[in-house]
Amino acid sequence: MISKKTINAIEVCVFLAGQRHAGYVTTTELSPRLDLSISYLENLLKPLKAHNIVSAMKGPGGGYMIHGDTSLISIWDIASVFERTFDAERPLDASLPAELFEDKTPPASFELGLEQIVKATLSNFTLADFVDETQYEGARSFVQTMGRFKFKPLAAPLMPKAPNSVFQLSMMMA
């Protein structure tokens, strides 16, 4: 029932909740830390923003941040943005007959029961339950680590353990 997209969205929200003290976080900083592409992150963050789970700010110093108190946002609030439930499969347009949208085979009772258990379980947990504040304290941003131009750090130069000159060689032989 829970898709990989939903799991990634929950991970993004947990990360953003842990970064609340640091302010807005850009997708450039999120991408290497969560090992997700920038375009995929934007596809996750757009519906989260539309459902007021995250807020966004454009421009320098902008990015994404959790909107509201993390102890009031349940994991189900995030999952319900991406997951369809049997209750949600009703027609959105009331002018159309409901028979056009109904599946001819109703879900089995165990599917409904499983969905209710998953919904109840995820509703009992909030973002605050998964945020480890000590994990993110003092963490340097991706831009600070990699630099503005994203060059990889240079490798340490190789220092040979041999004599540097003929004179050092003769001193070692003596």
84-113 pLDDT, tens digit per residue, is: 877 655 444 444 455 545 555 666 777 788
Using the 8-state DSSP alphabet, how is residue 48 labeled?
A: H
45-91 pLDDT, tens digit per residue, is: 999 999 999 999 888 888 899 988 888 889 899 998 888 877 655 44
163-172 pLDDT, tens digit per residue, is: 778 888 788 7
145/10: higher pLDDT: 10
Which residues make beta-bridge pairs with 25?
Answer: 64
Whether the CB-CB separation of 68 and 125 falls below 8 Å is answered with no
pLDDT at 157: 76
Which residues make beta-bridge pairs with 54?
Answer: 66
Q: Which of 55, 57, 60, 16 is nearest to 36 (CA)?
A: 16
Q: Is residue 21 pLDDT above 50, yes or no?
A: yes
Domains of the chain (ranges plus CATH)? 4-173 (1.10.10.10)
14/144: higher pLDDT: 14
